[in-house]
Amino acid sequence: MAEKNLYYFVSDIHLGLDYKDPARRERKFSGFLRSLPAETKALFLLGDIFDFWYEYKNVIPRGFTRTLGALAQLHDRGTEIYFFNGNHDIWTYGYFERELGLVMKRQPYAVCLEGKWFCLGHGDGLGRGDRGYKFLKAVFNCRFLQVLFSGIHPRWAFGLAHAWSKHNRLAKGQQYAFRGEEEGIVRFSNEYQLCREADEKIDYFIFGHFHYKTRMPLKNGGELVLLGEWIHNFDYLVFDGENLVSRQYEAEEEPVAPEAVPEEGNRQ
């Protein structure tokens, strides 16, 4: 009997955020990546994997060695890895594709997996309203302004970014107050569903960004699933071709290989 393909979804790791032991958080996330079984067909990284990521032509952010190595290992064994830019890791210019084999996607992205339709993305800025945030997002995505920012020495650019991160609600211990049917992402999902052909209706809308774990049925069909973050809850989703299940990564951190014990004849 053929084994089922597995599909994993995760978001909002915020690697590099200086809050609640960031080194331990990366060890835990890299442990999760290395724990994915051989049946894993695809991994969907739904944004804000990094709290700040900016690529210069010859410079990338310091750190994250365990995570980048684990992603490369996953790709090398044949797992498809899809990366969606979040509002904290917008500025990617080819490193992930060239060095790690990741496939970059923009939201909203509709894909059929084992006969089920998924609409995926980070979730920020979708739907009507929130003009202030959408203006800020347009500024961050402006190519001309990105070129200007690239002219700033990395020492100052990354210092500015990490200072900005202190305003992150995660760093302040704040939880998002989800408004249910009044939430823009809910309105977006319902309107998006109406634009689909009958045989391509979305079964699951999966997003991150809100740091608020929830699942709710939509009035126009399908289900909205919001992932939690990895500061407190270590949430992820797995789809086995039939069921979409929410789980938490329980391992304390990436397993550490035991030290090699010298053979009897090699002992000093």
pLDDT at 2: 59
Q: How far is the C-alpha of 108 from the C-alpha of 87, rounded, in Å?
A: 14
SS3 call for 40: strand
Q: How far is the C-alpha of 63 from the C-alpha of 83, rounded, in Å?
A: 19
Q: Which residue in this structure is represented by tokens 């391992």?
A: 251
SS3 call for 182: helix
Q: How far is the C-alpha of 32 from the C-alpha of 252, rounded, in Å?
A: 10
Amino acid letter at 140?
F
Phi, psi of 191 (to 5 degrees): -70, -40
31: its two tokens = 């442990």
Closest CA to 228 of 241, 250, 209, 256: 209
pLDDT in tens, the chain (268 residues): 457 899 999 999 999 888 888 899 999 999 999 999 999 999 999 999 999 887 877 778 788 999 999 999 999 999 999 999 988 887 788 899 999 999 999 999 999 999 999 999 999 888 776 777 666 677 777 777 777 777 777 777 777 766 666 666 665 566 667 777 788 899 999 999 999 999 899 999 999 999 989 999 999 999 999 999 998 889 999 999 999 999 999 876 555 444 434 444 444 3
Residues 255, 261, 265: CA angle, nearest 5 degrees: 160
pLDDT at 258: 42
Contacts of 70 (CB under 8 A, 6+ apart): 30, 33, 34
- Tens of pLDDT, residue by residue over 51-94, are 988 787 777 878 899 999 999 999 999 999 999 998 888 778 88
158: its two tokens = 């990354």
Phi, psi of 163 (to 5 degrees): -65, -40
Q: Which CATH number fits domain 6-251: 3.90.25.10, 3.40.50.720, 3.60.21.10, 3.40.50.2300?
A: 3.60.21.10
pLDDT at 265: 45
pLDDT at 26: 94
Distance of CA 8 to the CA centre of its chain: 11
Closest CA to 17 of 256, 229, 235: 229
Closest CA to 209 of 189, 229, 234: 229
* Beta bridge partners of residue 44, listed in sequence order: 9, 82
- Tens of pLDDT, residue by residue over 15-35, are 988 888 889 999 999 999 999
pLDDT at 93: 85
Q: Which helix (H) or strand (E) holds 163?
A: helix 154-165
Distance of CA 62 to the CA centre of its chain: 19
133: its two tokens = 């945030």
